[in-house]
Amino acid sequence: MSDDRLEMKLQEFISYRIGHGDSVSTAERRTRRIKTISKNIDVWKVDTGSIFKYVEERLRKGIKKKSLRIELMDLQRWYEFLGYNIVLPKLKKEPDPDPFLPTDGEIRKAREFCLSRRDKYTWTRNLAIIDLLTTTGMRAGELIKVNLEDIKGDSIYIRSEKGERDRTVPLPKWMSDELKDYVENYRYKSDPKALFTTRTGRYNYTKLRNLVKYVGTKVGIPQLHPHSLRHYYATSLWKAGVDIREVQILVGHARIDTTTRYTHISQKELGEKVRDKVEDVFSFHKKLEPEVQIHVKNDGSEPNMMGALGFEPRSAGLS
């Protein structure tokens, strides 16, 4: 089937998935993954042999099982859309690795790079995008939907990307001033509503991901991505003493256990944080050290092994 016909069917798939509870951005991401998979297998028919071979090749190339599980899940939804009744294989879930959390210094490096660019129209906007992700914890899909009217002085209204409650979060004063400067002096008027625009219209999801990746690569942080800035936001608030349930509201999670993933502390950080407490709590070794050394007399006929091991010899006749 031609690429044009596949494109038409994928547009139908987007509508189908939105009708089944996906957000627009989630449905579009599923579509992009189906297009990628279609380059390796025939997605119009179910061929388990081809699917197993695809899984094997992807694993051999080093793809993470988590990423491959998402691809298989999207393929499952695609086959459901086409009317097939099939359950695709599921890969065993492996423990989640420590999520990447940028440091304060790395955030500053990213900002300094944006400030150093000569094209002020482009990079004033780009800086505002990165700063807004960092100071609000919004998802990439939520940021591109922000409109001018959503800026409410010292706060911003965020439309949830995942069917959770919309929310209003506070902005630092410098962030409000930065947005005001961008809107008044550098924003392209190519879209009457959108906060972030290009010469041709609203800023889109792909451009946003590419921007953060580009900046991260340039300053030596290749792991940087929009969601890591969301993680930085939530973790920074939690470390500063904001209650975990308040963090939950600010990031827009329906469930508290979802929020706890963003307040993760790496094993190294945790070890350093509790080192002094570990020394205090587990100080019982001091109580086990005898104050007086006890010597047990040995008649010389055999080595006093009991004494050497620290046990007192039993008296005769005692059991």
DSSP 166-224: -EEEE--HHHHHHHHHHHHHT---SSSSBSSB-SSSB--HHHHHHHHHHHHHHTT-TT-
Q: Is 245 among the catalytic positions? A: no
Among residues 203, 230, 231, 233, the one annotated as catalytic is 230
Answer yes or no: is pLDDT of 166 > 90.
no
% of the chain with per-residue pLDDT over 90: 49
Q: Report d(CA 216, CA 244) in Å as an integer.
A: 29
Q: What is the mean pLDDT of residues 130-147?
A: 94
In terms of domains, do 70 and 191 share one?
A: no
Q: Which residues pair with 158 in a beta bridge?
A: 167
Nearest to 170 by CA among 225, 115, 233, 229: 233
Tokens standing for 74? Answer: 């999207």
Q: Which residues pair with 151 in a beta bridge?
A: 156
% of the chain with per-residue pLDDT over 70: 77
In terms of domains, do 78 and 108 share one?
A: no
Would residue 128 count as lying in a domain?
yes
Q: What is the pLDDT of residue 97?
A: 63
Secondary structure (3-state) at 231: helix
Would residue 298 count as lying in a domain?
no
* Residue 41 near residue 49 (C-beta atoms within 8 A): no
Would residue 192 count as lying in a domain?
yes
In terms of domains, do 54 and 134 share one?
A: no
Would residue 148 count as lying in a domain?
yes
In terms of domains, do 136 and 77 share one?
A: no
In terms of domains, do 114 and 19 share one?
A: no
Q: Is 218 among the catalytic positions? A: no
In terms of domains, do 66 and 115 share one?
A: no
Q: What is the pLDDT of residue 81?
A: 95
Would residue 12 count as lying in a domain?
yes
- CA torsion angle 67 71 73 78 (round to 10): 160
| Lowest-confidence segment of 75-79, 136-140, 233-237 by average pLDDT | 233-237
Domain that holds residue 58: 3-82
In terms of domains, do 189 and 127 share one?
A: yes
CATH number at residue 25: 1.10.150
CATH number at residue 207: 1.10.443.10
Tokens standing for 113? Answer: 């790079």
Among residues 29, 111, 159, 162, the one annotated as catalytic is 162
Q: Is 230 among the catalytic positions? A: yes
Would residue 191 count as lying in a domain?
yes
In terms of domains, do 62 and 115 share one?
A: no
In terms of domains, do 64 and 111 share one?
A: no
Give pLDDT tens digits for 3-58.
788 999 999 999 999 999 888 888 999 999 999 999 999 999 988 889 889 988 98
CB contact burial 222-250 (16+ within 10 A = b; e otherwise):
eebbbbbbbbbbbbbbbeeeeeeeebbeb
Bigger pLDDT: 244 or 280? 244
In terms of domains, do 122 and 64 share one?
A: no
In terms of domains, do 76 and 162 share one?
A: no
Q: Give phi and psi for 167, each to the nearest 5.
A: -150, 160
* Residue 143 near residue 133 (C-beta atoms within 8 A): yes
For the stretch 211-220, contacts whose Cβ atoms lie closer than 8 Å and that sit 24 or more positions apart, written own/partner, are 211/126, 211/129, 211/130, 212/130, 212/133, 215/110, 215/113, 215/114, 215/126, 215/130, 216/110, 218/113, 219/106, 219/109, 219/110, 219/112, 219/113, 220/109
Would residue 311 count as lying in a domain?
no
Q: Is 262 among the catalytic positions? A: yes
* Residue 202 near residue 144 (C-beta atoms within 8 A): yes
C-alpha neighbours within 13 Å on the C-beta side of residue 269? 11
Nearest to 23 by CA among 218, 156, 130, 161: 161
Secondary structure (3-state) at 156: strand
Q: Which of 242, 263, 284 is the last residue of a domain?
A: 263
Would residue 186 count as lying in a domain?
yes
Among residues 17, 33, 125, 139, the one annotated as catalytic is 139
Number of domains in the chain: 2
For tokens 């509508």, what's the residue? 15
Q: Which of 263, 286, 301 is the last residue of a domain?
A: 263
Residues 6+ apart with CB under 8 A from 261: 96, 99
In terms of domains, do 139 and 38 share one?
A: no
Q: Which of 82, 112, 147 is the last residue of a domain?
A: 82
Q: Is 231 among the catalytic positions? A: no
Q: Is 253 among the catalytic positions? A: yes
Give pLDDT tens digits for 193-203.
999 999 999 99
Secondary structure (3-state) at 155: strand
Q: What is the pLDDT of residue 94?
A: 65
- H-helix or E-strand spanning residue 157: strand 155-158
